[in-house]
Structure 1
Amino acid sequence: MFPYFVASGFAIAGAMMMAGPALIHLMNRNRYRTIHWAAMDFLLEAMQSNRRLLRIRDLLLMALRALALLLFGLALARPYFTSTDSALPGTSKPPHAILVLDNSMSNSLESISGSAFETSREQAKQFLEKLPSASQISVVALCGAQSRRITDPFTSRTDAADAIDKIVATDGPGELTHALNQARRLAEQTPSLSPYVVVFGDQQASQWQRLARGNPPEEEMPVILVGTDASTPGNAWVEEFGLPDGMAEVGMPTRIVARVRYQGDEPRSNVAISFKVRDNEVETKFADFPEGDSVQTLAFDYVFDAMEVDPSRMSSIPLTVSLAGDALPADDSRSLVVPLVASTPVVFIDQWSDSEESPALGRLGETWVLRQLLCPQTESSREEQHLIRPIHLSQREAEGEPLRAALREARLAVVAGIESPSVELVSMLRSYVEQGGQLAIAAGGDFDPHAWNDVAWQGGQGILPKPLQPNAVGQSLSEFSDDLQPFRISGKGLLDHSYFRLADLEETQLIDLYTDALFFKTVVPTDEDDSQAAANQAGNLPPLEEKWLSWTPPVSTIERSGDNAENVTANIPATTIAQFDNGVEFVVERHVGSGRIVFFSSGISSQWSTLPSTNAVLIFDRVLRNQLASTFQRYNFAVGETALLPIPPGVGDSSIQLIAPDSGIVSSVSPRFLNEETRGVLIDNLDSAGIYWLSDREPTDASGDAVEARSQFRIPISGTSTPWESQLARLDPDQFASLNLPPQYRWQDSAQLIGGSGLPMSGHSWWQWLIALVIVLLIVEMTVAAMPSWLAWIVDRRSGSQSAPSASS
């Protein structure tokens, strides 16, 4: 039993030992007391506050990172908003930028940093980078062959930049009206886009003034002028160069007149001006130009040798005048191609024949003064050959085959002082003019306006440019009237026509010269009949005959032929060239077929006026010589103009070569039929000033002298620049405002536009601000991400400030 009790006792003791700690814990559990320690309370509060701040920090970081990512993607899209300006109505369409690049002569101005054209081209390419990504781009050249091309807009900035690089500078004039019309057509072809025009260039004042004078329509699209800050340099240029009469006379001194102009703030002295014939210098003169705007007129006399004239065809001689170079070399020289003619007949028809005229008896035909004026004959010069060979016929001799034989080779016919023409004379002269002949009609003598109107008007199908009133104004001296009321030529608008301008005289001198003569009597041209009357009377004349002239008129003036040719030319209105101070028209001009009719309403004899005794008789000389010059083939063209030139028969289709001036670039030109009878070439790439050479063989050098002897033909062609392109004055904001252009035309400084401002849309540069905002957000994000370090510092500071009072107590 004892062992049993001993074992039981050990078991009970072991159980009590194992349960003891638990019992002790249970017994002493409620004996612990909670002691509130102020520092621990603050620590617990700080830990709870820290957890809230960390949660807020995480939310803030997530928002900052998401916003930065969103703004970065938005910046890559380059958003924009259309303008709400009243002048630029807003639209949601994608933008269509139409860039107009000025490649005219004035924008070729040279400077130390390069030409102004290169600067404009670089500005245009820089501007491309500022366009929104959805933009479409068109590139337009202001002048030259490129300006006539219309292509689809570019969607790539690289393609647009390549198109800008392909535009080359020309010597042509800048036609803003043409460029804006082309921009309008481009806009019409892309109705789904919102168009606007940006003009890059020197913003030449004369260009925009010409546009403003034309009253430009209000554009539906904005037109932005990119201003330039460059100052205007001084410039001298050859403004005019030519022959007063338009032709040179072989063996006789020919006067060639050059008009040189200078504009600048500093004077220029001893400017050398050289005159060349066939690139050979003939004479050099020197001129001084004061500051401001000044003009010098220089005359060069030259005798063309008969050896230079080919008897079988008309010869053409290239002339050049040049001056010392400046910053715009394109206008420092000017060329001219002069036609040389040994002799050309002119038919004069009046009251008397040569055998009937008698200066001693005072019996002179009405054309006697004109014959002496155009081809003066002296005892010592009767055997000399002059440019004009007169064929004088009376009205009785001017009939049938003798008249036709005289007109066959004549390029000009003058009829004056005839009382009443015959139907046959009117019919013959009408056929002559329609084939290309030039006709001048003057009153005087016994001229009867009523009879002339009945026979020669024919409802516009005769030889009068306008119908005449039956009664004349005033009385001739032979009518012995005591009530003479003389009148003069009106100076108003007289010099608007090139007929009456002389390079040697100023405008006031010319007006004094032409208004010096007194007129006593004139017939009165009046308005034309209505179209129905013209149609009713058109059948009174015989139909147009086959061509019987021995010469061919210039191809540039050949009209279309056919059954309706008469009706077409009859509808061309007459033009008043000069008038008297009493309102009566003095000189009236009308184109008929391939020719032209000029009518003088007063006479040349002393019975109708004092013209023979005054220098005002030059008005007849100027008109008749210009009429005669217009019958020869034209070889002088403005830069940018299309040239029509005939070629000799038998020239192959692939052998025509055109040599450009200075550069010597040779290009092929394909022959074509210019009309039913004439074969020639059409040249539309005259973009440089100077002498071009048209030849049937390709030259071995730029001058072409090596092949001149072997060529079937070699024709010089002159390309001349427009004088106002040499006026380099540029617009500024004040001058632009004074033009009073429609509100769609806006001036924009180049620096601001290249910087992205000033476009007809807002927000196009917001992407830059968006990128800046993304950078700011990333800086803020990094600052917030570093919050635990400075948060712990804040907690420590707060804990320290709360525990300090307990420690002291």
Structure 2
Amino acid sequence: MFPYFLASGFAIAGAIVMAGPALIHLMNRNRYRTVHWAAMDFLLEAMQSNRRLLRIRDLLLMALRALALLLFGLALARPYFSSADSALPGTSKPPHAILVLDNSMSNSLESISGSALETSRQQAKQFLEKLPSASQISVIALSGAQSRRISDPFTSRTDAADAIDKIVATDGPGELTHALNQARRLAEQTPSLSPYVVVFGDQQASQWQRLARGNPPEEEMPVILVGTDASTPGNAWVEEFGLPDGMAEIGMPTRIVARVRYQGDEPRSNVAVSFKVRDNEVETKFADFPEGDSVQTLAFDYVFDAMEVDPGRMSSIPLTVSIAGDALPADDSRSLVVPLVASTPVVFIDQWSDTEESPALGRLGETWILRQLLCPQTDSSREEQHLIRPIHLSQREAEGEPLKAALREARLTVIAGIESPSVELVSMLRSYVEQGGQLAIAAGGDFDPHAWNDVAWQGGRGILPKPLKPSAVGQSLSEFSDDLQPFRISGKGLLDHSYFRLADLEETQLIDLYTDALFFKTVVPTDETNTLATSNTASSMPPLEEKWLSWTPPVSTIERPDDQSDSPTASIPATTIAQFDNGIEFVIERHVGSGRIVFFSSGVSSQWSTLPSTNAVLIFDRVLRNQLASTFQRYNFDVGETALLPIPPGVGDSSIQLIAPDSGIVRSVSPRFLNEETRGVLIDNLDSAGVYWLSDGEPSGTPGDAAEGRSQFRIPISGTPTAWESQLTRLDEEQFAGLNLPPQYRWQDSSEVVGGSGLPMSGHAWWQWLIGLVIVLLIVEMTVAAMPSWLAWIVNRGSTSPATSSASS
């Protein structure tokens, strides 16, 4: 039993030992009392303040971080707002920026910092960076073939910048009207966008003046001009270069006139002006230019060798005049392709034949003085070398097959002094003009206006440009009148036509020259609408025959509507190009088919006027030579113009090559049919000034040398720069205001537009400020997260004071 009790005692003792601490705790629990101790109160309040501070810090950090994320997203969206004065049709639409880059000749001006075009490129690319992200961008070249190619708007700034870099300089003019029309079409293709145009360039004053003179329509979109701070440099250029008559006389001295102009603040002296034929220098002259705006006209005489020309066949020779180079080299030279033709037949019809004329008896046909002007009589052995081979017929000889045989090869026909033409003559000449022949008709002699009107007007189907009144005005000297009332050619508007301008004479000199002659008698052209279809012989005219001319009109001639239509009137109205001071029309022209008719209402003989004894007779020479020159193929084109050129028969379809001037770049041109009969090429990218060469052979040696055995033809073509592009005067804000353009046209300094303040919207640069604000918020967030003591002091300041007062109490 003892062991049992011993084990039980140990168990009870163990339980008491294990329960002892709990019992002691329970027994002693009521011995502790809560004692309020001031130090512990401060500790408790500090703990509560720290928890409040951490809560405020966490809320502040959350707000700062959320606001930073919100502003960063807003900055990525690049917000903008339309300005109140932007005049955009839809202020809520995304913008469509149409950038016009000036790549005309004037913007290729070189300087130490590079060309003006390169500066415009840089400004345009900097401007791209300021556009809102939702913007669409179009890029338009102002000049050249690139101006005719327009792509869809870009949505990527990189693509737009690449398009800007691809725009190259040309020697052509900058046509703002064309660029604005292109911009308008782009705007119409994107109606969901708000368009505006920004023009980058040198802002040449002459460009904008041309636009202002054309009365530009008020644009529905703003047009912003980016101003330039560059000063206007001095510039000298070849303003004009040509032959007064358009063609050269074989074997006789031919005068070539060059007009050189200078604009600058400093004078230039001893400027070398060199004349070249086929790149071979012939003569050099020197010119001095004072400061300001000055012009020098220089004449070069050259004799073209008759051995270079086959009779009846046209050849062409390139001529060049150049001056010492300056900062704008594109206008320092000008080229001209001169057609050389020998023995070109011209038909003259008047009262007398060659056998009937007698200078000794004073019996001369009305065309005698004109024959002397166009083909002076020289040694008979050299007669075939003249430009013109006259075929003189009397009215009696100008009938039937002899007339048709004479007209077949003639490019110009002159009829004067005929009393009344026959129906057959009128019909033959009408057919001749419709096929491309040139016809000149002059009164004089026994010219009867009533008979001419009855036979030759034909209600607009004859050979008169306008109908005539039955009676003439004034009296000829042979009518022995004591009441002569002479009149003169009116100088008003006379020089508006290229017929009467001469490069080596000033306007006042030309007016004095042409108004020197006195006229005693003239027939009176009248309004054609009052005399339509009044002739009984109109219905008796035979129908138009097949073409019987032995030569082909130039393909560059614009095809005009056929006058042989159901309407009795010609579809192309007559044009008055000179008149008398009494208001009567003197020179009238009308295009008929592929040809042209010019009518002189007075005669050239001494019975009707004093023309033969004055230099004013030159007016006939100018008109007739111009008519003759227009029948030959044109090889001189303005830079940027489209050239149509025929090619010889038998040339392959893939062998035509065009060699560019200076650079020598060769490219292929595909032949095509220019009309029903003529095969040729169309060249629409003459963007450089100088001489091009069109050939069917591989280039070998110099461009002017044909590759023997490989080339059937080698034709020179000249690209001529526009003279006003050389006037480098730049527009400023005051001059722009003086143009009185519509209010949508705005001037902006380059710094404002590139900086963005010139855009027709506000807030477009806010994204930069938003990014800056995000950075500031992040700095504040890091500062708050570091929990500096000054922030704790600010938060605890309000709580420590009450605690202190409580402790004190």
CA distance in 2, matches of 1:328, 1:58: 69
CA contact (8 A) 1:461 1:566 kept: no
CA distance in 1, matches of 2:624, 2:536: 33
Identity of aligned residues (%): 91
Q: Are residue 4 (structure 1) and residue 7 (structure 2) matched?
A: no
Shift of residue 743, structure 1, vs aligned partner:
1.3
Structure 2 portions without partners, runs of 5+: none
What number of residue pairs does the alignment pair up?
A: 809
Moved more, 252-261 or 114-123: 114-123
Q: Secondary structure at the match of 1:555?
A: coil
**What root-mean-square deviation, in Å, do the aligned CA atoms of Structure 1 and Structure 2 show?**
3.7
Q: Secondary structure at the match of 2:793?
A: helix
CA distance in 2, matches of 1:138, 1:3: 113
Moved more, 91-100 or 315-324: 91-100
Summarize deviations over 1:603-652 as a string: whole Å, max 9, x none. Answer: 11122211111111111111111111111111111111111111111111
Shift of residue 444, structure 1, vs aligned partner:
1.3
CA distance in 1, matches of 2:553, 2:40: 119
> Measured at CA, do residues 37 and 195 of structure 1 come closer, stay the same or move farther in structure 2, by a change above 3 Å?
same
Shift of residue 354, structure 1, vs aligned partner:
2.1
Summarize deviations over 1:172-197 as a string: whole Å, max 9, x none. Answer: 11111111111111111222222221
> Measured at CA, do residues 602 and 275 of structure 1 come closer, stay the same or move farther in structure 2, by a change above 3 Å?
same
CA contact (8 A) 2:532 2:568 kept: no
Match of 1:761 in 2: 761
Match of 1:349 in 2: 349
CA contact (8 A) 1:82 1:90 kept: no
> Measured at CA, do residues 669 and 24 of structure 1 come closer, stay the same or move farther in structure 2, by a change above 3 Å?
closer
CA distance in 1, matches of 2:162, 2:798: 68
CA contact (8 A) 2:417 2:443 kept: yes
Moved more, 751-760 or 244-253: 751-760
Shift of residue 144, structure 1, vs aligned partner:
1.4
Match of 1:143 in 2: 143
Summarize deviations over 1:347-406 as a string: whole Å, max 9, x none. Answer: 111122222222233222211221122222257888574212222212122111121122
Q: Secondary structure at the match of 1:384?
A: helix
> Measured at CA, do residues 163 and 515 of structure 1 come closer, stay the same or move farther in structure 2, by a change above 3 Å?
same
CA contact (8 A) 1:433 1:439 kept: yes
TM-score (norm 1): 0.92
Moved more, 690-699 or 553-562: 553-562
Shift of residue 540, structure 1, vs aligned partner:
3.9
CA distance in 1, matches of 2:233, 2:366: 55
Shift of residue 302, structure 1, vs aligned partner:
0.5
CA contact (8 A) 1:43 1:799 kept: no
Match of 2:43 in 1: 43
CA distance in 2, matches of 1:538, 1:193: 60
Shift of residue 58, structure 1, vs aligned partner:
2.4
Match of 2:390 in 1: 390
Shift of residue 788, structure 1, vs aligned partner:
5.5
Match of 1:198 in 2: 198
> Measured at CA, do residues 608 and 804 of structure 1 come closer, stay the same or move farther in structure 2, by a change above 3 Å?
same
> Measured at CA, do residues 103 and 531 of structure 1 come closer, stay the same or move farther in structure 2, by a change above 3 Å?
farther
CA contact (8 A) 1:124 1:200 kept: yes
Moved more, 58-67 or 265-274: 58-67
Moved more, 182-191 or 703-712: 703-712
Shift of residue 198, structure 1, vs aligned partner:
1.4
Shift of residue 562, structure 1, vs aligned partner:
7.7
CA contact (8 A) 1:426 1:462 kept: yes
CA contact (8 A) 1:569 1:591 kept: no
Moved more, 284-293 or 162-171: 162-171
CA contact (8 A) 1:460 1:534 kept: no
Moved more, 742-751 or 588-597: 742-751
Shift of residue 602, structure 1, vs aligned partner:
1.2
CA distance in 2, matches of 1:24, 1:719: 121
CA contact (8 A) 2:436 2:593 kept: yes
CA distance in 1, matches of 2:394, 2:443: 15
Shift of residue 703, structure 1, vs aligned partner:
2.5
> Measured at CA, do residues 557 and 252 of structure 1 come closer, stay the same or move farther in structure 2, by a change above 3 Å?
same
CA contact (8 A) 1:82 1:760 kept: yes
Q: Secondary structure at the match of 1:566?
A: coil
Alignment of 1:529-608 (within 5 A): 529=529, 533=533, 539-557=539-557, 559=559, 570-608=570-608
Shift of residue 67, structure 1, vs aligned partner:
0.7
> Measured at CA, do residues 552 and 17 of structure 1 come closer, stay the same or move farther in structure 2, by a change above 3 Å?
closer
CA contact (8 A) 2:102 2:199 kept: yes
CA distance in 1, matches of 2:474, 2:315: 48
Moved more, 512-521 or 755-764: 755-764
> Measured at CA, do residues 387 and 313 of structure 1 come closer, stay the same or move farther in structure 2, by a change above 3 Å?
closer
> Measured at CA, do residues 303 and 50 of structure 1 come closer, stay the same or move farther in structure 2, by a change above 3 Å?
same
Q: Secondary structure at the match of 2:537?
A: helix
> Measured at CA, do residues 591 and 795 of structure 1 come closer, stay the same or move farther in structure 2, by a change above 3 Å?
closer
Shift of residue 577, structure 1, vs aligned partner:
0.7
> Measured at CA, do residues 357 and 77 of structure 1 come closer, stay the same or move farther in structure 2, by a change above 3 Å?
same
> Measured at CA, do residues 103 and 17 of structure 1 come closer, stay the same or move farther in structure 2, by a change above 3 Å?
closer
CA distance in 2, matches of 1:250, 1:176: 43
CA distance in 2, matches of 1:399, 1:7: 170
CA contact (8 A) 1:659 1:702 kept: no
Shift of residue 89, structure 1, vs aligned partner:
3.8
> Measured at CA, do residues 695 and 4 of structure 1 come closer, stay the same or move farther in structure 2, by a change above 3 Å?
closer
Moved more, 720-729 or 448-457: 448-457
CA distance in 2, matches of 1:427, 1:295: 50
Moved more, 586-595 or 707-716: 707-716
CA distance in 1, matches of 2:402, 2:574: 30
Shift of residue 440, structure 1, vs aligned partner:
0.6
Match of 2:283 in 1: 283
Shift of residue 88, structure 1, vs aligned partner:
3.0
CA distance in 2, matches of 1:56, 1:632: 95
CA contact (8 A) 2:312 2:343 kept: no
Shift of residue 122, structure 1, vs aligned partner:
2.2
Shift of residue 564, structure 1, vs aligned partner:
5.7
Shift of residue 534, structure 1, vs aligned partner:
8.4
> Measured at CA, do residues 626 and 804 of structure 1 come closer, stay the same or move farther in structure 2, by a change above 3 Å?
same
> Measured at CA, do residues 123 and 803 of structure 1 come closer, stay the same or move farther in structure 2, by a change above 3 Å?
closer
Q: Secondary structure at the match of 1:557?
A: coil
Shift of residue 82, structure 1, vs aligned partner:
2.6
> Measured at CA, do residues 27 and 702 of structure 1 come closer, stay the same or move farther in structure 2, by a change above 3 Å?
same
> Measured at CA, do residues 610 and 52 of structure 1 come closer, stay the same or move farther in structure 2, by a change above 3 Å?
same
CA contact (8 A) 1:346 1:410 kept: yes
Shift of residue 147, structure 1, vs aligned partner:
1.4
> Measured at CA, do residues 348 and 579 of structure 1 come closer, stay the same or move farther in structure 2, by a change above 3 Å?
same
Moved more, 359-368 or 499-508: 359-368
Q: Are residue 215 (structure 1) and residue 218 (structure 2) matched?
A: no
Q: Secondary structure at the match of 1:450?
A: helix
CA contact (8 A) 2:563 2:593 kept: no
CA contact (8 A) 1:84 1:90 kept: no
Structure 1 portions without partners, runs of 5+: none
> Measured at CA, do residues 732 and 102 of structure 1 come closer, stay the same or move farther in structure 2, by a change above 3 Å?
same
Shift of residue 567, structure 1, vs aligned partner:
6.2
Shift of residue 13, structure 1, vs aligned partner:
17
CA distance in 2, matches of 1:568, 1:748: 57
Summarize deviations over 1:252-287 as a string: whole Å, max 9, x none. Answer: 111100011111111111111111111111111111
Summarize deviations over 1:550-594 as a string: whole Å, max 9, x none. Answer: 111111126378896796992011111111112111111111111
CA contact (8 A) 2:460 2:568 kept: no
CA contact (8 A) 1:99 1:200 kept: yes
CA distance in 1, matches of 2:355, 2:784: 120
Moved more, 713-722 or 369-378: 369-378
Summarize deviations over 1:450-509 as a string: whole Å, max 9, x none. Answer: 221111111211111111122222222222323222221111111111111111111111
CA contact (8 A) 2:86 2:761 kept: no
> Measured at CA, do residues 664 and 566 of structure 1 come closer, stay the same or move farther in structure 2, by a change above 3 Å?
farther
Moved more, 203-212 or 703-712: 703-712
TM-score (norm 2): 0.92
CA contact (8 A) 1:75 1:770 kept: yes
Summarize deviations over 1:663-698 as a string: whole Å, max 9, x none. Answer: 111111111111121111111121111111111112
Shift of residue 26, structure 1, vs aligned partner:
12
> Measured at CA, do residues 556 and 601 of structure 1 come closer, stay the same or move farther in structure 2, by a change above 3 Å?
same
CA distance in 1, matches of 2:190, 2:332: 43
CA distance in 2, matches of 1:191, 1:10: 105
CA distance in 2, matches of 1:277, 1:455: 50
> Measured at CA, do residues 19 and 695 of structure 1 come closer, stay the same or move farther in structure 2, by a change above 3 Å?
closer
> Measured at CA, do residues 152 and 14 of structure 1 come closer, stay the same or move farther in structure 2, by a change above 3 Å?
closer
> Measured at CA, do residues 360 and 270 of structure 1 come closer, stay the same or move farther in structure 2, by a change above 3 Å?
same
Shift of residue 39, structure 1, vs aligned partner:
7.7
Moved more, 33-42 or 302-311: 33-42
Q: Secondary structure at the match of 1:570?
A: coil
